[in-house]
């Protein structure tokens, strides 16, 4: 029974992702984002519990990627599709709420589904890449998912008009889709938040990232989420540059 506990947590991630798809199609982005966050928590816990119980196995590894494909692949792709719809027709509420879909007069929103393709390719590579045990090569799919599902929340709840206009701008959404898809599969080393010890000297980049993230969340709320993802990539690139110089 012990060896199935991590798999149950992974299935919790898959359940959250599946329900999030339904809410995303209904245009309820608050519950979509909440379910994605809960799914990502399950995604973190399944690996942690597997290591704690020493029951890591190939089944769990494959199941984890399948669950991530839904929560951090299909869900953000649908959200991006709907954002692109809204960028064309600002009165559109939810993909299923648009009569015959052709009401927008454009196939551009389908570009958002590129995120699902990029996530699937990344997750397949991750399963056979032995280099990613202590760090990442390319942007992790949960980070991409958080970036995307935060955008409609910014549009709905932020009082900063610049950011609201930005996340509903089709050119910003197109560039974001292409860039996120590229970053997921780029040969770009990124640090992970796994701690071998808690000394400041060994983990100063991680502590800087966590502290900055807390400050951004406290001051900017939903706007902070995509900024934190961008900062994460920037900090990783900077750290890699400094290591090469040394």
pTM for the model stands at 0.89
DSSP string, 22-73: HHHHHT-HHHHHHHHHHHHHHHHHHHHHHHHHT---HHHHHHHHHHHHIIII
Q: Which residue ranges form the domains of the chain, and what is each CATH number?
A: 2-188 (1.20.120)
d(CA 119, CA 225): 19
Along the chain (246 residues), what's the average pLDDT of each consecutive run of 10 residues? 86 96 93 96 88 81 92 96 83 48 69 96 87 80 97 92 92 97 94 75 86 95 95 90 70
**What is the token pair recorded at 52?**
């704690």
């Amino acid at each position: 029974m012990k060896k199935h506990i991590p798999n149950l947590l992974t299935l919790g991630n898959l359940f959250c992702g599946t329900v999030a798809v339904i809410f995303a199609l209904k245009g309820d982005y608050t519950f979509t984002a909440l379910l994605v966050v809960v799914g990502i928590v399950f995604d973190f816990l399944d690996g942690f519990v597997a290591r704690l119980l020493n029951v890591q196995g190939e089944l769990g590894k494959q199941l984890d990627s399948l669950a991530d494909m839904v929560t951090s692949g299909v869900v953000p792709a649908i959200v991006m599709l709907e954002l692109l719809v809204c960028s064309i027709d600002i009165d559109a509420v939810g993909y299923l709420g648009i009569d015959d879909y052709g009401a927008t007069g454009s196939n551009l929103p389908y570009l958002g589904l590129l995120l699902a393709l990029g996530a699937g390719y990344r997750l397949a590579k991750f399963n056979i890449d032995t280099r990613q045990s202590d760090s990442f090569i390319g942007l992790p799919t949960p980070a991409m998912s958080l970036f995307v599902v935060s955008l409609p929340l910014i549009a709905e709840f932020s009082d900063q008009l610049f950011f609201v206009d930005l996340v509903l701008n089709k050119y910003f959404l197109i560039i974001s889709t292409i860039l996120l898809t590229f970053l997921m599969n780029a040969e770009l080393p990124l640090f992970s938040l796994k701690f071998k010890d808690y000394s400041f000297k060994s983990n100063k980049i991680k502590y800087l990232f966590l502290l900055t993230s807390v400050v951004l969340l406290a001051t900017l709320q939903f706007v902070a989420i995509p900024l934190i993802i961008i900062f994460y990539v920037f900090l990783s690139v900077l750290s890699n540059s400094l290591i090469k110089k040394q």
